[in-house]
Structure 1
Amino acid sequence: MDSKKGIIFTGAVIGILAVILVRFGNPVNMGICIACFIRDTAGSLGLHRADVVQYIRPEIIGIVLGAFMIAFGKKEFDVRGGSSPFIRFILGFVVMIGALMFLGCPLRMVLRLGGGDLNALIGLAGFVVGIIVGIIFLKSGFSLKRTYRLSKFEGYLFPMVNIGLFILLLTAPAFIFFSKKGPGAAHASVWIALAAGLIIGVLVQRTRLCMVGGIRDAILFKDTYLILGFISIFVFATLGNLYFGFYKLGFSGQSIAHADGLWNFLGMALAGWGSVLLGGCPLRQLILAAEGNVDSVITILGMSAGAAFAHNFSLASSAQGPSPNGKIAVLIGFALLLMIAYFNLEKDVKATVKGGVRVGTN
């Protein structure tokens, strides 16, 4: 699966599964969105009370468990952590703020493009600019320091939490919230969504697919391996949307999207820059967490907190556009990223990036 054929196949499967999930109930152009689905899950647990985005998303659970099982079976489950955990929490928080300004993670950005949403082109431009800024800091010696080996049990906790979430989804106790309307109420059946997530988790773990990594490696190393997966998702999502009649070309009237170009650009620029500093996009963070990377678990907790904060304090965009509070939050996010990037420069470190993980050598 490390071949170019493998990454293209993975992208094709993700693109097709995303459209199939829409066919079976997920919102249009949101067959899979890591940021949105983490946000929905946070809402279902009561971390925010936006009643239109509350649902424990089985896709996330499936991705984690699929990646965990294949990593464990291939003896790639390696429990590590301790690399600037609180900074990673903040970075996860900031990436989520950027994603919810745009209304989607980098993966959904590609799927929106595949559905004809031209607003995602502006988001893509911002995403690339954010990645370029991140690369400048990587080349200048940015580092979040080394990781340390931790106990196996600590690595098992994240998959166990996801199993617990699945039990809550099936049993639906009174303290779990489920949307009756809006995007949270639009979902495929539990078992179809779980199966799709399991397949994606396995394939992405084997190929190391990463939305940020594809563009970063193409710019930094002229390596096109990861970006082929990015392109494949777009191509097959487009074909699937055309086949099912979901394709709608244009800027206006797009599903769960707004047409404010400036803030679509800035939202994805923020998400792209933050993801480069983290070493991978939100999808990649899920896979790393499933492989035993506790730092990525902390990042996901930061994303969950960011989602809750965004909806509790009216930071997230809506179909009507960005909120004033959201605009302020994005600007604060850029200031935070600049401080984190600057104060974690190591002038004597030469940086290399491989497989979504930054490695520093003295």
Structure 2
Amino acid sequence: MREHLPVILAGLVVGIASVVLVALGNPVNMGFCIACFLRDIAGGVGLHQAPIVQYIRPEIIGLVLGALIMALAGKEFKVRGGSSPMTRFVLGFCVMVGALMFLGCPLRMVIRLGGGDGNAILGLIGFIIGIFVGTLFLKKGFSLKKSQPQPKIEGLLMPAVGVGLLTLVIAAPAFIFFSTEGPGSMRAPIAAALVVGLVVGAIAQRSRLCMAGGIRDAMMLRDFHLLMGFVAIFVAVLVGNLIVGAMGLKGGFTPGFAGQAVAHTDGLWNLL
């Protein structure tokens, strides 16, 4: 059990952080969501014009910088890439479209479950089915091939972009967009969001927390190590929501399908 402790602790911290971010202003059941926050950032810099989801989310910036700092501290900063770039792009595109059809990444799926959102059950079922299909490809020999070492500048560009985005959200120049209504207008203070992102990025880098990898390992290897992290997130979010609900704070546990925050009840599309 001791070897599982780091990923369990990581999950508990991420779950607690999500509940805290909601209490500080983030949308309900969306304390931390990779896909949703990337969408908001795209809107914040004007790459889309949906006015209710435009805000440069400091959580994502902190996530990148926290992982970088932890990798440098642990002497694990090794820049690799170059394998199957077009395949990776297409797969990434499909993942993002699927996540935004469901209105949440795998992390938010677990957070929504912890908030009582029944629609996330269908999302989880679809996610498991998709990973099962993926394991069939892996068993048949599918591979993205071996990545190659890259110049360090390649690994530093994304953190540099993050620092630039952080500067923009703090300075708030006229060409940056800030939602005045909808999910994009619901946000924790910049400093709090950045600190939480840094912590989550650091512990995720150290623990290798990964939802898809956890289900894949459970299916293919009967290894439940990574999956324990996401069970811990669910437990932390569930308990945290029950506590904040009892205290009358923003958030809380609201079971059901209809009327859930930033969600829809179309079961087929949630599953797909």
| Band the TM-score falls in, shorter-chain normalisation | over 0.9
How far the C-alpha of 1:91 sits from its partner, in A, is: 1.2
How far the C-alpha of 1:204 sits from its partner, in A, is: 0.5
How far the C-alpha of 1:93 sits from its partner, in A, is: 1.0
What is the SS of the residue equivalent to 2:47? coil
Q: Quick one: distance in 1 between partners of 2:224 and 2:205?
A: 18
Instruction: State the partner residue of 1:252.
Output: 258
Instruction: State the partner residue of 2:171.
Output: 171
Cα shift readout 1:271-304 (whole Å, capped 9, x = no counterpart): xxxxxxxxxxxxxxxxxxxxxxxxxxxxxxxxxx
CA RMSD of aligned residues (A): 0.8
Instruction: State the partner residue of 2:136.
Output: 136
Instruction: State the partner residue of 2:249.
Output: none
Instruction: State the partner residue of 2:75.
Output: 75
Cα shift readout 1:199-236 (whole Å, capped 9, x = no counterpart): 10111100000010111101110101000001000001
Task: Please say if 1:264 is aligned against 2:270.
Answer: yes
Instruction: State the partner residue of 2:241.
Output: 241
How far the C-alpha of 1:87 sits from its partner, in A, is: 1.6
Q: Quick one: distance in 1 between partners of 2:255 and 2:13?
A: 23
How far the C-alpha of 1:147 sits from its partner, in A, is: 1.1
- Matches for 1:104-253 after TM superposition, within 5 Å: 104-245=104-245, 246-253=252-259
How far the C-alpha of 1:143 sits from its partner, in A, is: 1.0
Q: Quick one: distance in 1 between partners of 2:200 and 2:150?
A: 27
Identity %: 60
Q: Quick one: distance in 2 between partners of 1:81 and 1:134?
A: 21
Residues 147-156 or 23-32, more deviating:
147-156
Q: Quick one: distance in 2 between partners of 1:189 and 1:23?
A: 11
AA at the equivalent of 1:113: L
- Matches for 1:18-57 after TM superposition, within 5 Å: 18-57=18-57
What is the SS of the residue equivalent to 2:110? helix
How far the C-alpha of 1:3 sits from its partner, in A, is: 2.3
Cα shift readout 1:66-108 (whole Å, capped 9, x = no counterpart): 0000101111000111111122111111111101110000000
Task: Please say if 1:10 is aligned against 2:16.
Answer: no
Instruction: State the partner residue of 2:248.
Output: none
Runs of 4+ aligned structure 1 residues displaced above 3 Å come to none
Q: Quick one: distance in 2 between partners of 1:106 and 1:70?
A: 23
What is the SS of the residue equivalent to 2:25? coil
TM-score by length of 1: 0.72
Q: Quick one: distance in 2 between partners of 1:175 and 1:139?
A: 49
Q: Quick one: distance in 1 between partners of 2:146 and 2:224?
A: 27
How far the C-alpha of 1:14 sits from its partner, in A, is: 0.5
List runs of 5+ in structure 2 lacking aligned partners: 246-251
How far the C-alpha of 1:145 sits from its partner, in A, is: 1.6
- Matches for 1:210-359 after TM superposition, within 5 Å: 210-245=210-245, 246-266=252-272
What is the SS of the residue equivalent to 2:26? coil
List runs of 5+ in structure 1 lacking aligned partners: 267-362
Number of aligned residue pairs = 265
TM-score by length of 2: 0.96
Residues 153-162 or 12-21, more deviating:
153-162
- Matches for 1:97-108 after TM superposition, within 5 Å: 97-108=97-108
Instruction: State the partner residue of 1:95.
Output: 95
Greater RCO (Cα-Cα under 8 Å, separation 6 or more): 2
How far the C-alpha of 1:251 sits from its partner, in A, is: 0.6
Residues 171-180 or 85-94, more deviating:
85-94
Cα shift readout 1:157-196 (whole Å, capped 9, x = no counterpart): 1111100110011111111111011000000000000000
